[in-house]
Structures are given as C-alpha cells and as structure tokens.
Amino acid sequence: MRTEPGFLGTNAPLSADLTLIAYLLLIVPAMLIGFYFARRKWFEPHHKLVMTVITILNWVLILLVMAVSYSENVAPGLSDNINDRLILIPLIHLIFGATAQLLATYLVIRMWLEKSLPDWFKVKNIKRYMRLTLFLWLLTASVGAFTYFTWYVVDTSASTQIVPPVTTEEVPGVVLTEEITLEPVTTEEIPAVIETETAPQPVVTEDASTCIIEEQTECEAEYQQELADCAEEDADKQAECQQDAQQERAECLGRVADRCE
C-alpha cells in the first residue's frame, strides 16, 4: 500500500489516502462521540471504552504508518531544511500529536487502574486533562490534514527537494476524550417542582474544594436546563419530567466527590 497509487486523485499513495479517510470518517467522529458521552456523564462504560479504542488505534497507526514516514521523509531533513514547509509542518504535527497521545495513554491507564494506582500518579482534576487531550486531538487532526494537503496536493516544485513521503501524517492523538464542558443557558426556575430527597453533599477538603464547587455548579446548571426543557412538555408529562430532573440532579451531586478525589 505504500507504493500503490491512491484513490483520491492526488499524488498520495494508497496508505496515505486510507489513513486520511480513517481519521476523517472514523476516528475524529469517535472523538466527538466520546465528548458527547462525557458531556452526558456516561463515563462507564461508554466514554471509557470509546477513549480506550481510539487510543489503541492511534498507537497502531503511529507505529505502523507515521513513524516510518517521519523516519524516511522528515528526520533526514531536520538539520538542513527545518524551515522548509514540507519539514516544518510535519514537525509541528508531531509535537502536538505526541503530546495528545501521551496524555490520552495516561488517562486510559488512570481509568482502568483507578483503585490500584498510587496517589502520586493521579492528578487532582482529571476533567481538565480530558479537555486538554480533546483539544490537542482536534488540533492534531487539523494539522495532519494540512500536512496531507501540503505534501500531496500543493505543487512543491519551488520548495527544497526532498523525497516525497509515502504516508500522510494524521492524528497521532486520541478523544476523545473528554471533555469540553459547554455552560448551559440559565433559565428561570420552573415553579411547582416535585421535591425529592436531596443527595448528601460530599465532604469538601481544602485541596478538592475548587473542583467540587465547579462540579456542583455544573450539576445545578444542568438541572435548571432540564427544568426549562420540562416546561415545553405537555401538561400531563411535566410532573414526570420534573421528577426525572430531580433524580438526575441527585445522582450528579452524588458523583462529585468521586470525580474530585
């Protein structure tokens, strides 16, 4: 596949076209699906499995395709042609992608071995690192697509002559992962909400207080949004909808302490 011509009508080989399509149609959408699961707080098993699968797929593509391409077509030109766009753009892609992949690998290990890892190995606020990983993944995907365009679509005759790469440099990072939290629009609280038993508040330590406040604020904001959605339901369904919203709020508050350990 590294020597066979591609099918996208560019100068890229078949392996580069397949890698590009895999990221655009499979891996990047999976990252966004993982973000959706995290946003809905479907951590186990939905988000956990999606992030694990994407991390493994990325490692396979990095080791079998991208590492070969870098070693053959980028590394030899670093000392003499680092300012050439055919070298500089893949180098930037490598920096972003390697950072995202290492972060994603750490987060996957943390998810599966949460109870057995020593305290010094576990970060305090995992949500912050989830968001950073997703941002780096999407940034790496964009730079990877631009690398493909630069290597195989743009006329490179005016650039310093180097051996054309045989594979496109795509996303060496993951998704998905978690978790860019979009603040919901605050609406007026709907009266006559059915009162349910309030979930017990977690014990707040000094180190975790900031995280707990953020999580509780987010739970309350989501609760207000759900109440607003209930107001749009039929009158005979509003009571049931409000009761469900109360229950989800209690569950959300009950998970705050675990997420901020």
Confidence at 102, pLDDT banded by 50, 70, 90: very high
Residues 127 and 28 in one domain: yes
Residues 208 and 144 in one domain: no
DSSP 78-124: TTT-TTSHHHHHHHHHHHHHHHHHHHHHHHHHHHHTTTTS-GGGS-S
Using the 3D structure, point to which of 135, 152, 169 is the last residue of a domain. Answer: 152
Q: Write the CB contacts of 110 (distance below 8 Å, at least 6 apart in sequence).
A: 117, 121, 122, 123, 126
Tally the domains of the chain.
Answer: 2
Q: Hey, which residues does 5 pair with through a beta bridge?
A: 13
Residue 160 lies in a domain: no
Q: Write the CB contacts of 149 (distance below 8 Å, at least 6 apart in sequence).
A: none
**Is 11 a residue whose pLDDT tops 50?**
yes
Cβ of 51: how many Cβ atoms within 10 Å? 30
Exposed (0-12), middle (13-18) or buried (19+): which is 113, by Cβ within 10 Å? exposed
Q: Give mean pLDDT, residues 103-108.
A: 89
Residue 3 lies in a domain: no
Residues 21 and 147 in one domain: yes
Residue 7 lies in a domain: no
End-to-end Cα, the chain, rounded Å? 48
Residues 145 and 189 in one domain: no
Using the 3D structure, point to which of 132, 152, 172 is the last residue of a domain. Answer: 152
Q: Which residue has the tokens 């020593």?
A: 118
Using the 3D structure, point to which of 130, 152, 174 is the last residue of a domain. Answer: 152
**Is 160 a residue whose pLDDT tops 50?**
no
**Is 213 a residue whose pLDDT tops 70?**
yes
**Helices 85-112 & 48-61 angle (0-180, nearest 10):** 140
Among 177, 170, 24, 13, smallest CA distance to 94 is for 170
Q: Residue 78 has which token pair? A: 């670093």
Residue 123 lies in a domain: yes
Residue 176 lies in a domain: no
Residues 27 and 114 in one domain: yes
Residues 132 and 55 in one domain: yes
Q: Write the CB contacts of 52 (distance below 8 Å, at least 6 apart in sequence).
A: 108, 111, 112
**Is 18 a residue whose pLDDT tops 70?**
yes
Out of 131-140, 154-163, 209-218, 226-235, pick the least confident: 154-163
Question: Residue 3: its pLDDT value, please?
Answer: 62
Q: Between the CA of residue 110 and those of 119, 125, 126, 145, what are the distances in Å?
A: 11, 12, 9, 30
Residues 124 and 214 in one domain: no
Confidence at 208, pLDDT banded by 50, 70, 90: low
- Top-ranked range on mean pLDDT: pick from 7-16, 72-81, 192-201, 226-235: 72-81
Residues 140 and 22 in one domain: yes
Residue 93 lies in a domain: yes
DSSP 170-218: ---S-------PPPPPP-PPPSSPPP-PPPPPPPPPTTTHHHHHHHHHH
Residues 36 and 143 in one domain: yes
CB 134 within 8 A of CB 179: yes
**Is 93 a residue whose pLDDT tops 50?**
yes
**Helices 48-61 & 28-39 angle (0-180, nearest 10):** 160
Residues 147 and 253 in one domain: no
Residue 1 lies in a domain: no
Residues 21 and 131 in one domain: yes
Residue 259 lies in a domain: yes
Question: Residue 222: its pLDDT value, please?
Answer: 80
Residues 20 and 132 in one domain: yes
Domain boundaries, position 260: 183-261
**Is 85 a residue whose pLDDT tops 80?**
yes
